[in-house]
């Protein structure tokens, strides 16, 4: 597999298609009233689960394979990669909030609808903006700045990752990353743990 435009286009199109589906269901939920609420809440939950699953795969593939590879082979993109990682966290937090609101709406039939619309539209904007940023930076960098052998190498790793991920087996990243890439991955994990501890500490005071 080549990590070329086609692979990223397909992945981006799939996420965007699911974002559009979700947007349509939110509109139904907004305008169709109480009579269709049960049906629309179920549809929103289903669409949300699909989108969450697809985005989770996207996030893990980037954070475990693509970002560490680029941080070593094209280090000048470090800042944008850091931003994209924090974007992933932001999207995850907003998705959790929206899920909670959808659960409240389905269980208690309370008027959470306005909040759901607000959270839903915000999440959709975040996702669209995130994908656009990746297209303009990461995808272009892979296409224009990696050497042919590097493109081939990242393509092989992506394919292997997707195959193992589909099989449901656990991934051992030692087989995917060189020493330097492992350092990038583990540095990031340690930072995240430290950030999380700091946040917990801040929340507790
Ligand atoms: Fe991403």
What would the 3-class secondary structure string for 55-78 be? HHHHHHHHHHHHHHHHHHHCHHHH
Q: What is the pLDDT of residues 139-183, one digit of tens each?
A: 999 999 999 999 999 999 999 999 988 876 666 665 556 656 666
- Give pTM, 2 decimals: 0.78
Alpha carbon of 52 to ligand 1 centroid (Å): 13
Give the Å distance between the CA of 107 and the centre of ligand 1.
32
Multiple choice CATH, 5-170, 1.20.120.520, 1.10.238.10, 1.20.1440.230, 3.40.190.10: 1.20.120.520
The CA-atom distances, in angstroms, between 132 and each of 65, 108, 129, 137 are 20, 37, 5, 9
Contact, 52 vs 21, CB < 8 A? no
| Domain residue spans of the chain | 5-170
What is the per-residue pLDDT for 117? 87
What pLDDT, on a 0 to 100 scale, did the predictor assign at position 74? 93
Q: Kindly report the average pLDDT of the chain as a whole number.
A: 82
Written as six digits, the tokens of 188 are: 């990031």
Q: What angle do CA 11, 184, 134 make, to 5 degrees?
A: 30
The sign of the torsion formed by the CA atoms of 182, 138, 24, 123 equals positive
């Amino acid at each position: 597999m080549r990590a070329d435009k086609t692979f990223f286009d397909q992945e981006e199109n799939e996420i965007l298609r699911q974002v559009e589906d979700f947007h349509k269901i939110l509109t139904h939920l907004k305008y169709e009233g109480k009579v269709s609420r049960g049906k629309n809440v179920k549809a929103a939950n289903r669409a949300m689960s699909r989108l969450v699953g697809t985005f989770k795969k996207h996030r893990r593939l980037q954070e475990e394979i693509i970002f560490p590879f680029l941080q070593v082979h094209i280090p000048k993109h470090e800042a944008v990669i850091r931003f994209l990682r924090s974007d992933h966290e932001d999207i995850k937090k907003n998705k959790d909030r929206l899920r909670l609101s959808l659960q409240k709406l389905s269980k208690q039939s309370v008027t959470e609808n306005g909040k759901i619309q607000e959270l839903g539209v915000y999440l959709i904007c975040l996702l669209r903006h995130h994908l656009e940023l990746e297209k303009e930076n990461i995808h272009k960098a892979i296409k224009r700045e990696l050497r042919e052998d590097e493109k081939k190498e990242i393509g092989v790793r992506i394919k292997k990752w997707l195959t193992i991920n589909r099989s449901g087996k656990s991934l051992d990243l030692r087989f995917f990353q060189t020493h330097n890439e492992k350092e990038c991955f583990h540095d990031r994990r340690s930072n995240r743990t430290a950030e999380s501890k700091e946040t917990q500490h801040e929340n507790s005071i």
